[in-house]
Amino acid sequence: MAERERSHTRPRGAVFVPRAQVMSAADVHRAITRMSHEIAERNRGLEHLVLIGLQTGGVPIAERLAASLETVESTTIPVGILDVAFYRDDIGLRPVLPEAVTDISFDLTGATVVLVDDVLFTGRTIRAALNAVSEYGRAQAVQLAVMVDRGHRELPIRPDYVGKNLPTRRDEMVDVTEDGVALGDVVGR
Amino acid sequence: MNQFPHHLLSIDDLGPDGIGEVLRVADSFVEVGHRANPKVPALRGRTVATLFFEDSTRTRVSFETAAKRLSADVLSFAVGSSSVKKGESLRDTVETIEAMGIDAIIIRHPSSGAPTRVAGWVTNLSVINAGDGWHEHPTQALLDLYTVRQALGGGDEGMDRFKSLQVVIVGDIRHSRVARSQVAAYAALGAEVTLVAPPTLLPPSIDGWPIAAVSHDIDNELPSADVVSLLRLQSERGSGEFVPSLREYTTRFGLNGRRAAMLKPETLILHPGPMVRGVEIASEVADLPAAHITGQVSNGVAVRMAVLFLMLGQSPVQGSSNV
């Protein structure tokens, strides 16, 4: 979600200025390994398990989780890509544009879906993703994995797998990249 | 890009960035169209009206399908059964529609410039030109571009290939609003457009048109073309009077099997429809794999969804203050 917001604010001259490095690249790697073990523990055998990364920040994390699960349980986990732009409830409040094309090439009926995002904030992206996912079949269960839970929920949504709980101010910005997780501000808006 | 334009009256309203935005967002709607339930809630609570003063099937159905797939409510004003028949003026009709709280009207009118006049009368309503006289038909040109971009590899790669693309537009350019939108759209993306028509079917003045060349000999232009876009002879606008006979037109300008064989293997053949087999295009050519004519129709829905979404999805719902 942070990624998504950032790419919309950038063209208007806003930039992300990091203040503190919260997780290093190695920390993110360890968190991914731990989360994949938690996913494997909770969904024994990983049968019918699929990962769906949310555009754009969730996609690389979903791919890394799938790679890690493959070493943990020696099974290949399908990974889908979902863009929730058309399901958001803040259409009309701020610019909401699709970042990339959704790619879910498998039926989700009966599957256990793990939604993957980089940052969990208000929960509105996940609300939209739940609606979007239901268009691809009736999943047996939907779980949520996020690298950072930064609080400030506006909806009754709770993650199942968390890389790091990170208390933040509402106006701060969390940036998740390959190099780790940084906390900072959006300047110049 | 900056704010998407409030009205879409001509291709110039969009510029190269706006065109790119429409094509990019249309990719997402093509994916939506492939789903078991090809509908998204993006424009829930919005109302779109079609107001067609001229016959149309594909454009009207395409726009209405697009709006419904975005979950907008759609009203269809059939001019034949509305108060227009009782003598109501265009301005009064439009003001009535606006007073009902409708978010956008999609208008087709036999007079060039009618949608532009309408846009000047309304305050909140968005106006989309679905064809006005000889002037423009912007969404048709956008779906042509989408079809070409798709055939050229799609995405940014397909977009880049428009630069220096050789486009040949053949037919009744004089009476064609599609041709005017196509020329503007291809030129905006850097393509080189050549118009091919008998002198009588060229516009009275083409000064200032962003075209590379005008030709009266189709056989000269086909071997170097990357895209051949055919236009119908618009008999309802009197095209028939501008050529000695349909048969002569077909002989000199129709895309027949012999001419199709002169094309490069990767050349695309486009036709905005309705096509008249045996006049501007031979039946066997219309069915060649190079002819992307039905692809154009299915892309039309996705492209119109993108236009409606970009236009209506960015502004607050009318009358809602507690969001």
pLDDT at residue A13 in the model: 57
Which residues between 57 and 76 in chain B have a beta carbon less than 8 angstroms from any beta carbon of chain A? 70
Residue type, A28: V
Checking if the pLDDT of B306 tops 80, the result is: yes
Strands in B47-52's sheet, in edge-to-edge order, are B73-78, B47-52, B104-109, B126-132
Alpha-carbon gap, residue B198 to B109, rounded angstroms: 27
Per CATH, the number for B11-137+298-312 is 3.40.50.1370
Structure tokens at A153: 């929920």
- Reported as a single tens digit per residue, the pLDDT across B200-251 is 999 988 888 999 999 999 999 999 999 999 998 887 777 778 888 888 999 9
- Reported as a single tens digit per residue, the pLDDT across B149-200 is 999 999 899 999 999 899 999 999 999 999 999 999 999 999 999 999 999 9
B-chain CB neighbours of A135 within 8 Å are 35-37
Which residues between 99 and 128 in chain A have a beta carbon less than 8 angstroms from any beta carbon of chain B? 100-103
Checking if the pLDDT of B318 tops 50, the result is: no
- Report the residue count for chain A: 189
B-chain CB neighbours of A11 within 8 Å are 1
ipTM here: 0.79
Alpha-carbon gap, residue B44 to B211, rounded angstroms: 41
Q: Which residues of chain A have pLDDT under 70?
A: 1-13, 92-95, 189
Domain span(s) for CATH 3.40.50.1370 in chain B = 11-137+298-312, 138-297
pLDDT at residue B137 in the model: 97
SS3 A144: strand
A-chain CB neighbours of B27 within 8 Å are 101
- Reported as a single tens digit per residue, the pLDDT across B279-299 is 999 999 999 999 988 888 889
Helix B58-69 × helix B15-33 angle, to 10°:
70
Q: Where are the beta strands (DSSP E) in chain A?
A: 15-24, 49-54, 79-82, 112-120, 141-149, 161-165, 172-177, 180-187
By C-alpha distance, which of A88, A113, A80 is closest to A5?
A88
Checking if the pLDDT of B126 tops 60, the result is: yes
B28–A98 CB contact, under 8 Å: yes
Q: Return all residues near A123 (Cβ < 8 A) that are at least 6 apart.
A: A153, A154, A155, A156, A157
B40–A87 CB contact, under 8 Å: yes
Domain ranges of chain A: 2-11+25-178
A-chain CB neighbours of B317 within 8 Å are 92
pLDDT at residue B213 in the model: 94
Contact A176, A118 (CB under 8 A): yes
pLDDT at residue B298 in the model: 86
B313–A131 CB contact, under 8 Å: no
Average pLDDT rounded to a whole number, residues B3-29: 94
Cis previous bond, B274, omega within 30: yes
Which of A10, A56, A91 to mutate against chain B (most B CBs within 10 Å)? A91
**Torsion angle defined by CA atoms of residues B245, B249, B251 and B257, in that order, rounded to the nearest 10 degrees:** -130
Q: How crowded is the C-beta side of B16, counted as CA atoms within 13 Å?
A: 10
Which of A8, A55, A83, A86 to mutate against chain B (most B CBs within 10 Å)? A86
Task: Pick one of 3.30.110.70, 3.30.70.330, 1.10.1060.10, 3.40.50.1370 as the CATH number of B138-297.
Answer: 3.40.50.1370
Indicate the helix (H) or strand (E) that contains B92: helix B90-99
pLDDT at residue A175 in the model: 93
Tokens 């940014």 sit at which residue? B156
Of B28, B36, B70, the CB nearest to A101: B28
Strand partners of residue A53: A81, A116
Residue type, A131: N
Task: Pick one of 3.40.50.150, 3.40.50.2020, 2.130.10.10, 3.40.190.10 as the CATH number of A2-11+25-178.
Answer: 3.40.50.2020
Which residues between 28 and 57 in chain B have a beta carbon less than 8 angstroms from any beta carbon of chain A? 28, 30-32, 35-37, 40-43
